[in-house]
Amino acid sequence: MVASCSDGGTSSTSSQNTDSPASTGEAGGSTVVAPPTTDPATTSTGSVPPTETPGPASVRVLFAVNVQDFAHPDESAAILDRLVSLHEDTGVAVDIYLTDDMARILSTKHPEVFSRLVASPVVAISYHVRPPRPYGSGADWLGLGAMTPDEQYSTVLRYETHAVDPVTGETTDGPGGYRYVADLIGYLPPAAAAAPSDSGVASAVRAVYADLGASLTVVHGRPAELGDVVGGLLVRPEQAEARLWEHPGEDPADILAPALETALGRGTAGLPFIGVKIHDNDFFATASAWTTVYVQDRRRPPWDPTLAAPLLTTEERDAMWTTYEDTVRLVAEREDLESLNLRDLLEAMG
């Protein structure tokens, strides 16, 4: 069974794991967000030329680590600490995508690791959504698709500014969502990613993210050129991807070769990008916490958030880590590859 991931393509549940007014506030303060003046269900697409492009390398590499495993927070914190050390040692940039739950868990239970993520010169923290939010990975248990555009916008805005009850999926009075993550890290996460299956809901979600201060989003199922725009947000560029969780123990040169060939062969008018993707749980668990709780067996509330997937064996963990580490070191060594994260990309684009 394969479940769609909001920011990293797809995740195997058996083996891993409109434009509207802009935000008027900064990440650390209160932000007043006006409702959209145009139909939030209308998504504009197009392309804007970058004013500057990064580096002389022939292919740019975007590492994306999707952090989502609330069932094994100690293991997640340990692997993130190890990842930051590796990326700082090699100078390879990386994007860490946090859910609001994982940002809360890391900042309270593992503040030293969370501080490293925030302060590291090679890390950019972005935001992604998982169920039980009703637009996380197509999980519309709330009936968003049947709402009017205004109702969709106001509902998504509530979910992106409040915490969510993990049993009922309803919002609480506590802080949560994109705004909460921005407040915790002290800057606006450059990308906000969700994967609603309904196009109208997707328009509302992107409108809210744009209003809250995000600059980019993620699309799946097609190449994305540098400068592509959807719903008022830049699209994370990507001509091909390498899903590392599908290749534990394999040679990184063999893993990257098809993605590099595809990216270079697409005839893109701009710079070719490949996405190298992994989830925190791929390093230590047989499936992700969100698929275990919110996808397998039950897709509607109430849910049991105490469910947890079994941990991988030591040999399986070592194989996955070796593949990731060797891939990072290979990118660091090759002159034809240049790593950057989304903060680097936005700065280069001007």
pTM given for the model? 0.86
The H-or-E segment that residue 230 falls in is strand 228-230
Confidence of residue 221 (pLDDT cuts 50, 70, 90): confident
The answer to whether the peptide bond before residue 302 is cis (omega within 30 degrees of 0) is yes
Domain residues for the domain of 139 are 2-349
**pLDDT tens track for 184-219:** 999 999 999 998 878 889 999 999 999 999 999 999
Nearest-angstrom CA–CA distance, 179 and 160: 6
Distance CA 150, CA 203 (A): 11
CA–CA dist 135, 171 (Å, integer): 13
pLDDT (tens digit per residue) in 67-99: 999 999 999 999 999 999 999 999 999 999 999
Residues 6+ apart with CB under 8 A from 296: 1, 13, 287
State the pLDDT at residue 46. 57
**132-136, 244-248, 319-323: which has the minimum mean pLDDT?**
132-136
Could you tell me the CATH number of the domain that includes residue 16?
Answer: 3.20.20.370
31-46, pLDDT tens digit by residue? 333 333 333 333 334 5
Give the Cα separation of 176 and 324 in Å (integer): 31
Residues in Cβ contact with 349 at an 8 Å cutoff, skipping those fewer than 6 apart: 50, 51, 52, 53, 226, 227, 234
* Strand partners for 123: 94
In sign, the C-alpha dihedral spanning 167, 170, 175, 180 is: positive
CA distances from 263 to 19, 79, 256 (A): 30, 29, 11
Q: pLDDT, tens digit, for every residue of 108-134?
A: 999 999 999 999 999 999 999 999 999
254-308 pLDDT tens trace: 999 999 999 998 866 667 999 999 999 999 999 999 999 999 888 899 999 999 9
Count of structural domains, the chain: 1
Query: What was the pLDDT predicted at 50?
Result: 44
Structure confidence at residue 12 (pLDDT): 37
What is the model's pLDDT at position 269? 67
What integer is the mean pLDDT of 13-22? 33
The model's confidence at residue 57, banded by pLDDT at 50, 70 and 90, is confident
Q: In angstroms, rounded to a whole number, what is the distance separating the alpha carbons of residues 252 and 90?
A: 16
Do the Cβ atoms of 320 and 55 come closer than 8 Å? no
Q: What is the pLDDT of residue 30?
A: 33
* Cα–Cα distance, 338 to 59 (Å, whole number): 6
